């Protein structure tokens, strides 16, 4: 994403926290066979002024539909890495026209780690491609 100019609006944020998905991602056979819980946090940056000014849902992102799309993307087509899963989810979010940037954190609270731990997660930030001038 390029730097903001004076005629560009500040971006607002919308956050979905703690979306729980049961899926079969992982590098080990038992993870693929048994599945496990993943928790997803997504923050998207967009200009909410058009929606706020018109009170029109069509001018923003419908977070209920977005949550369903994230759930679908996260619960199908198993992958080895949560990095890959985070990238997939970022693509789903950026497919929504008003979204300019997204931060995705994928938590794997039941990861197969042999020492006591609370959580393991991967976070990525991606921006909408800006066409070359």
Do residues 42 and 87 make contact, with C-beta atoms less than 8 angstroms apart?
no
* DSSP-assigned letters across all residues of 57-69: GGGS--HHHHHHH
For residues 73 and 42, give the distance between their C-alpha atoms in angstroms, rounded to a whole number.
Answer: 13
Residues with Cβ within 8 Å of 17's Cβ and at least 6 positions away in sequence, in order, are: 41
**Per residue in 100-128, pLDDT tens?**
999 999 999 999 999 999 999 999 999 98
Query: pTM for this structure?
Result: 0.89
How many Cα atoms sit within 13 Å of 58 on the Cβ side? 1
Q: Does the structure show a pLDDT above 70 at 2?
A: no
DSSP-derived 3-state class of residue 10: coil
Q: Annotated catalytic residue: which of 107, 108, 126, 128?
A: 108
- Told to judge if 108 belongs to the known catalytic residues of this protein, a careful annotator would answer yes
Residue 5 pLDDT exceeds 60: no
């Amino acid at each position: 994403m390029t730097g903001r100019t004076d005629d560009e609006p500040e971006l607002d944020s919308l956050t979905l926290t703690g979306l729980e998905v049961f899926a079969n991602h992982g590098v080990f056979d038992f993870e693929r066979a048994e599945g496990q819980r993943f928790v997803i946090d997504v923050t998207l940056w967009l200009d909410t002024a058009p929606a706020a000014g018109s009170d029109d849902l069509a001018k923003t992102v419908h977070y209920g539909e977005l949550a369903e799309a994230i759930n679908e993307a996260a619960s199908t087509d198993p992958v080895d890495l949560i990095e890959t899963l985070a990238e997939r989810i970022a693509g789903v979010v950026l497919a929504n026209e008003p979204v300019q940037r997204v931060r995705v954190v994928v938590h794997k609270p039941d990861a197969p780690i042999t020492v006591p731990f609370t959580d393991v997660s991967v976070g990525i930030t991606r921006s909408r491609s800006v066409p070359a001038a």
